[in-house]
Every structure is written in structure tokens, then in C-alpha cells.
Structure 1
Amino acid sequence: MPPTSPTNLTNLSKQHPAVYEQLSAFSAAAEEAAADAGIGAKLVELIKIRVSQLNGCAFCTRLHSRDAVKLGETNDRLAVLPAWWESQYFSDIEAAALGLAEEVTRLSVPQRTEWDTGALNPAQISAVSWLALVMGAWNRVAIRSGYRVAP
């Protein structure tokens, strides 16, 4: 059974819009760094989706899944994303980026090296890390603000 929703949720963007705008600027900078590092828009969305899945953010998972589909992402790849490492759907770069994003999201001590296959260069490692960090912040805003997802 899913946890019950707290009754004391506050829309963070409405309470402190200036802070929300700064997070938006941070997000844009992370996406720009990703583009500069050669990380394509579809992979950016996959990273956002996977981080959102790990953080349990239905709002962001749905939002970025829809964005990924608009960019040409397939339903098959989205369906296996929670177990991406068991599939053959993802390229070496995608697998490395997803593994790194999971490591950053889970706040593990950087001991896991499954993602570190050499597929990502230092700029890409940094960009994926920033994308995961900013997506985690967005997940927390959505969850704490009580953004609900309905059909």
C-alpha cells in the first residue's frame, strides 16, 4: 500500500518564487552543459525519468516520459528503463550515463564502477552528474509541493 499523502504540503514555487526561478536557471545550465558535452536530448530525458523513478516522483516521471516520446523515444525503451541494465536497448553511452545518474541519485560512495566503461568523457560525466542532481531537486519540489498525477 502506498504511503498516505501529508496534509501539510505547500506549493514551494508559490511560496518562494525567486528560489524556484533559481532552480529553473540551475536546471537550464545543467541541460546546456549536457548539450555542450554531446549528450543528446533523448538521453537527457532518460536520465530525468530514471532519477524521477528512483525518487518516486510520479509527476516528473510522467512529464519527462511525455517529453521523451515527443523526441522520438520508444515505448519499449521506456518500459524497460527501470531495469535498463538487463536489456540490450541502450547504447554504451546511455548505459554509462544511466548508471552514473543512479549512483549520484542514490548518494552512494563512488565505489560502483559498472557505469565506468570509458564510454563517457570527463565533460559527460560532469554533465550527467549535474543533470541527476538538478532532477533530484525538481523531484523534491514536486513531491513536497504535492503535485498529483491523475489520468
Structure 2
Amino acid sequence: MIGYLSVRKIDDKYVGGILIVDESGIPYEFKYTDPIIPTPLQKILYGKSLESYLNTEVIAKSLLKKIENKPEVVFVDNSVLTSISENVFFAIQTVSSSEQIDQLSSDECVIPFGAGFVRISSSKEITKEKLERLRQLVEEIDILEPFQRLQKALEYICKSSTS
């Protein structure tokens, strides 16, 4: 199973969701947070760290704890979220050149994907075993498509919470 975790700020509300899919992209589990609107006092007390705190500590970590089906890999669309677990990877489509590939650190990789590449990074070193599994996933499925579904679901949740 593969996890997709996203935290969004929509109309001054922070909302997060995690979608667990099988290797065919079929949903197994979906959890989300109720939209969070920080108070003026929280904005003052947390300052610039508020968004990072809400994204990682309040939303992302709580979503990982809530899920019943533990995925082998969780993809996120915000690199800040890679710090929440060693099996969390930031993935983004790129048209990377071979020069950029040569400059990768041990916590990132670039894998051919469609007409371009997908750049994957982690807060930890990507082992050969993890790299091989990531390559396999990229070859078998469109690893970025579930983010589109997740984003639409989070937008729907935010709009539904106001009605």
C-alpha cells in the first residue's frame, strides 16, 4: 500500500488528508482533519513557525497515527513533511537534466517518469533497497496522480465545513 499525505491552506483554513491506495490506485483508506483556523493569539505566539507547526505536528503526525492500514511508503507534496517519518518522501515532477542528477545528495533521487523525471527526497538517506522500491513504484503507476484526488477532496472538505 502507498500513502499520500497533503496539508493545504484553503481560505485561511488548514486541512490535511491522507489517502492510502493499493498499487492499482484503488483507495483503501482516507482520513482527514477538520479545518483548523488559527486564532489571532496563536498567530502572535507562533509567528513564522505557525504554518510549519500546524502542518507537521498538528496535522500530518496526527493523520499518520489515525490510519489503520500502514503503507510502506508515504508520498507528500510539501518537503517540510518529510521530517515526520523515515518512510515519508517528497515527490515532484521535473524536467531535470543530467547535470542536476549528478549533484544529488544521499537523501534524494531522480527517476525517469513519463517525458521527464520525478525527483524524490527524504529527511533520511535513501538506501539502495528504498531506491529500488521507489523505482519500481514509478515504473508501475503514476505516483503523482493521487495528489490530484487528495487536493480535490480537501477542497471539498473545506467548502462543506462552511455550509
More helix by share: 1
Q: Normalising by the residue count of structure 1, what TM-score does the alignment of the two structures yield?
A: 0.29
Query: TM-score, structure 2 length as denominator?
Result: 0.27
Instruction: State the structure with bigger RCO (CA 8 A, min sep 6), 1 or 2.
Output: 1
Q: State the structure with more CA Rg.
A: 2
